[in-house]
Amino acid sequence: MPDYYEKTCTAPVNIAVIKYWGKRDVSLNLPTNSSLSVTLSQDNLQSKTTIRADPSFSKTRLWLNGVEEDVSASKRIQTCIKEARRLRSLYEQQLLRDGNSEVVPLSEYNLHICSENNFPTAAGLASSASGFACFVYTLAQLYSLPNSLSELSIIARQGSGSACRSLFGGFVAWEMGVNNDGSDSMAVQIADEHHWPELIALICVVSDAKKAIGSTVGMQVTVKTSSLLKERIECVVPKRMEEMVKAIKDKDFDAFAELTMRDSNQFHAVCLDSFPPIFYLNDISRAIIRLVEEYNSTSCNYKAAYTFDAGPNAVIYTLRENADELVGLIKRYFMGEEREQIPSGFRADAVPIFEEGSVKQLIRTTVGDGPRVIEDGLLNEDGMPKS
Amino acid sequence: MPDYYEKTCTAPVNIAVIKYWGKRDVSLNLPTNSSLSVTLSQDNLQSKTTIRADPSFSKTRLWLNGVEEDVSASKRIQTCIKEARRLRSLYEQQLLRDGNSEVVPLSEYNLHICSENNFPTAAGLASSASGFACFVYTLAQLYSLPNSLSELSIIARQGSGSACRSLFGGFVAWEMGVNNDGSDSMAVQIADEHHWPELIALICVVSDAKKAIGSTVGMQVTVKTSSLLKERIECVVPKRMEEMVKAIKDKDFDAFAELTMRDSNQFHAVCLDSFPPIFYLNDISRAIIRLVEEYNSTSCNYKAAYTFDAGPNAVIYTLRENADELVGLIKRYFMGEEREQIPSGFRADAVPIFEEGSVKQLIRTTVGDGPRVIEDGLLNEDGMPKS
């Protein structure tokens, strides 16, 4: 038996198709509406975390992408540790009651936590969802917690709201819940990662000069000032959640696409209805929307659906049969590759050609699985980051 | 007494501060909500129309900015002529009943109509409001109609919705009405053009590559597809109309400014909530919003308020004491005049400097009066356009 206990895990990114925007409780990250997301493959985007518990550690330390952070400065991280320790402590008591003689008091040990993303933060892709999901999942593994993923999602949610959805692969709903303590605000899986293998996500990393307002602050501005948010929360989203679950279960891309686009647009609409107004889409984002519209107009069925989070980057969902064509269009109009073909029926002048680098990076990926336990850790023998 | 009868009038442009967006009856131009506008000075922007009625004319003809248009092709123009003729005919009958022996049957004569704007259509400024207001007002003068301006506004409304508001100077409400025939959907004056002489409007004509969707089509898309419009129509606008009337009567620029900006933002929010989404603001528009926000942050009171119609052009309302400063800022950030001063407290890097010509034209104007009768006509002796 080792003197120290260590686990390493990875967790995926998720991209919402019914958007989370608005907190009814900021401290607990309780949302004003339910949301639904697609978990993306970890082959392209993932967070990786190693956590070691060791009685010899004098304090709990955290390294994030190679830089040590002050754990005491992050209330969110402390909350996650505290909650996981509470569950571990309950579990230890249970083990003792069950007659186990050698229960290791892991809940009392300090931790060394090392976390990395395999994608650059500079890309502007939200890393807090995969990061906190990975952090909580790794802690749960380290502590051998008997709790379900939905129960763990309640902890991850307190780290970063949308992190709760990254505890599952496939298609995941975050049920907003009604309790004031957040005990029923958790993630549930709608369908697993094998359900709809034809679905492809194209992530377009969009160039932007402007630093956008952060989502936590932005949500608060919207909740306080938008007179349209209430209608979205009370009437629109509940209906869309039902329709989206059905669309996913039926693998109905037409319904999935229209709901996805409409909900992205409405999220940005309530941002604009906020005061001062919040803008995340820029002229390149708008042109990507135009490109998807024109591409869809070449067929009677939807072939692609755009969605945008709190920034100008687009994620385009499409089916495998259309992916090459769509990649060609994005390269042609936003990445300076003029030789790319235009599909039949696509009017070449429907979208202006933007300069090379307008889309800085294009990531093609699929629906993926939830967090994994892996062998290769990020800490050396002494419990310090390897790199 | 001449063989022909002729009148020439001018009419102003108006810029809404509570926006009109949505028709409950497309044919009658009945709106889904009331709206409120400021009439701008005719020194800068006006339409001018000469109408001659002559029994010798073989048909009714129309010249618009020097180009002859097919009157029979415009249902809107025909409706206005028909309605004005109906009122003239009633008036003629009244005169006959009152014992007048020489009543000229003007309602039966064909018309020559010549209309011009003193601002380029290319500027992207809506000319249909001033144009139809001028057209209906000139017809009413020609026909010596005894009807009130509000009654005439019902006719102008059927030409172009917002035209009804250009029949008055100063501050004008368009009461949406409830009747199906539109008989109570008309403009009323809230305060005249002398009420708030300190108020200044800066019109920023913004460069844009993209041709935006027209407002008639856009409104229909929003009415049919936006799930947030109902809340705006039923709850938000009625309250804002009351607050805006009070702000204007009190000359309360703080209240006026915030309501103006919020309502512009909400109009663009319901456009974005439409499907497919409608975008009128571009990156320059957004930067103008940012500039106004930064300028307002230099004081505890609002110093300026932006508003945007169905295009990227901004209109900024401000008070006379701030106008020079604000003009300097717009010239510096959007018109390539780098030597312009920055006001104290304005952070120079809060707004990116755009290239010269991003704002193509800057028009500084004030609150103005309603339609005027003038002498100098646009038709020659033969009833043909002078130029």
pLDDT of res. B123:
58
- Chain B touched by A279 (CB under 8 Å): yes
- Residue B122's pLDDT is 54
> Hey, are the CB atoms on B273 and A265 less than 8 Å from each other?
yes
Domain boundary among B179, B195, B211: B195
B170 in any annotated domain: yes
Phi/psi at A40 (nearest 5 deg)? -95, 155
Query: Same domain for B208 and B343?
Result: yes
Residue numbers in B near A276 (CB within 8 A): 293
DSSP state of A349: G
From A11, A55, A20, A4, select the one nearest A222 (Cα to Cα). A20
Can you list the residues of chain B whose pLDDT is less than 70? 1-3, 121-124, 126
B268 and B140 co-located in one domain: no
Distance in angstroms (rounded) separating the CA atoms of residues A371 and A189: 13
**Is residue A40 assigned to a domain?**
yes
A206 and A65 part of one domain = no
Identify the domain boundary among B151, B177, B195: B195
In a domain, B278, yes or no: yes
A341 touches chain B (CB under 8 A): no
Confidence of residue A121 (pLDDT cuts 50, 70, 90): low
Does B230 contact chain A (CB < 8 Å)?
Answer: yes
Residues B37 and B177 in one domain: yes
Domain range for B51 is 5-195
Which of B149, B179, B195 finishes a domain? B195
> Which of A151-160, A162-171, A332-341, B84-93 is predicted with the least confidence, judged by mean pLDDT?
A332-341
Write the pLDDT tens digit of every residue in A300-355: 999 999 999 999 999 999 999 999 999 999 999 999 998 888 999 999 999 999 99
Q: How much is the pLDDT for A132?
A: 97
Contact between B265 and A225 (Cβ < 8 Å)? no
The answer to whether position A113 is within a domain reads yes
Task: Kindly report the CATH number assigned to the domain that includes residue A183.
Answer: 3.30.230.10
Gyration radius from chain A CA atoms: 22
DSSP three-state, residue B130: helix
User: Would you call A261 and B275 a contact, using CB atoms and an 8 Å cutoff?
Assistant: yes
Q: A72 with A179, same domain?
A: yes
Q: Is the residue at A27 inside a domain?
A: yes
On whether both A299 and A247 belong to a single domain, the answer is: yes
Interface test with B, best of A213, A221, A226, A231 (most B CBs within 10 A): A231
The CATH number linked to B326 is 3.30.70.890
pLDDT range class, residue A387, cuts 50, 70, 90:
confident
**Alpha helices per DSSP H over chain B:** 75-97, 128-142, 149-159, 215-225, 229-231, 237-249, 253-272, 283-296, 320-334
Closest CA to B280 of B221, B240, B230: B221
Task: Round to whole Å and give the CA distance between B208 and B280.
Answer: 10
**Could you tell me if A114 and A239 lie in one domain?**
no
Structure tokens at A287: 């042109």
Looking at the structure, do residues A59 and A182 belong to the same domain, yes or no? Answer: yes
Number of structural domains (chain A) is 2
Query: What is residue A339's predicted lDDT score, i.e. its pLDDT?
Result: 86
Tell whether B258 lies on the interface with A, counting CB pairs under 8 A. yes
Predicted pLDDT at B119: 79
Residue-wise pLDDT for A36-56, tens only, equals: 999 999 999 999 999 999 999
CA distance B296 to chain A (A): 11
Identify the pLDDT of residue B2. Answer: 65
| Choice between B103 and A212, residue whose per-residue pLDDT is larger | B103
Q: What is the ipTM of this complex?
A: 0.92
Q: Which positions in chain B touch A275 (Cβ < 8 Å)?
A: 258, 261-262, 265
Show the DSSP H helices in chain A as ranges.
Answer: 75-97, 128-142, 149-159, 215-225, 229-231, 237-249, 253-272, 283-296, 320-334
Query: Do B253 and B104 belong to one domain?
Result: no
A163-193 b/e (C-beta count within 10 Å ≥ 16 → b): bbbbbbbbbbbbbbbeeeebeebbbebbbbb
Sequence-separated (6 or more) residues with CB below 8 Å from residue B142 = B5, B6, B7, B51, B53, B106
Residue among B210, B228, B232 minimizing CB distance to A232? B228
How many residues would you count in chain B?
Answer: 387
Structure token pair of residue A294:
């024109």
Question: What per-residue string of b and e applies to A78-111 under the rule 16 or more CB within 10 Å gives b?
Answer: ebbbebbbebbeebbeeeeeeeeeeebebbebbb
On whether both A156 and A75 belong to a single domain, the answer is yes
The answer to whether the CB atoms of B272 and A275 lie below 8 A apart is no
Q: In terms of CA atoms, which chain A residue is nearest residue B272?
A: A269
Instruction: Evaluate whether residue A373 is within a structural domain.
Output: no
Distance of CA B1 to the CA centre of its chain: 36
Question: Does the residue A379 lie in any domain?
Answer: no
The verdict on A149 and A231 lying in the same domain is no
Same domain, A230 and A161: no
Q: Tell me how close the Cα of B268 comes to any Cα of chain A, in angstroms.
A: 7
For A33, phi then psi, to 5°, come to -150, 155
Chain B contact for A212 (CB, 8 A cutoff): no
Residue A204, pLDDT score? 96
